[in-house]
Structure 1
Amino acid sequence: MSSKARDNEISFEGQSTIKEELNKKIKEQKVVVDELSNLRKNRKVFVQQRNSNIFFLGDRGQTLSSCKKDLDNMKRELQDM
């Protein structure tokens, strides 16, 4: 096997792993969106700060909208691969 063919195979395996991880994240994000969509309007939602273990009270509508945008971006990224 030539080194070019071996490099292509390694690249393909790496891309496959990235796609699997992205698919996993998309499934998780779908669950989050579904859970937020099914909450009663008066329920409290807490949002975790990035790179922190601190949670703050957030708006359910804004959180749902943000999660939907993240899901759309992940789906678009997967299609671009």
Structure 2
Amino acid sequence: MSSNDNFEGQSALKEELNKKIKEQKIVLDELSNLKKTRKVYIQQRNSNIFFLADRSQTLSSCKKELDNMKKELQDL
């Protein structure tokens, strides 16, 4: 593998991570602006099943996930 291939791979990875970070920011914004009475559902991994979730817990886990993505991007 040449250094150019490695650079392109890393660039594609950064681009994908940036896309996921933007999506996560939108999710956080949407969750933050929900009325307190609205219900939130989370999807089970690798499934089409959704479960009722606590809004504040979901918001906090989304924030943690965003922080992890940002850290991963900085480490690249």
| TM-score normalized by the length of structure 1 | 0.92
Taking the TM superposition and a 5 Å limit, the aligned residue runs for 1:32-47 are: 32-47=27-42
- Give every structure 1 segment of 4 or more consecutive aligned residues whose post-TM-superposition deviation is greater than 3 Å: none
Which of 21, 29, 36 pairs up with 2:16?
21
Question: Paired residue for 1:63?
Answer: 58
- Taking the aligned partners of 2:12 and 2:48, their CA distance within structure 1 comes to 28
Which of 45, 50, 54 pairs up with 2:49?
54
Of structures 1 and 2, the one scoring higher in RCO (CA 8 A, sep 6+) is 2
Q: Which has the larger radius of gyration?
A: 1
Q: Which one-letter code corresponds to 1:32 in the other structure?
A: V
Shift of 1:36: 0.2
Taking the TM superposition and a 5 Å limit, the aligned residue runs for 1:66-77 are: 66-77=61-72
Shift of 1:54: 0.2
How many aligned positions are there?
76
- Taking the aligned partners of 1:68 and 1:49, their CA distance within structure 2 comes to 19
The 3-state SS of whatever aligns with 1:47 is strand
Task: List gaps (5 residues or longer) in structure 1.
Answer: 1-5
The alignment yields a C-alpha RMSD, in angstroms, of: 0.8
- Taking the aligned partners of 2:57 and 2:45, their CA distance within structure 1 comes to 16
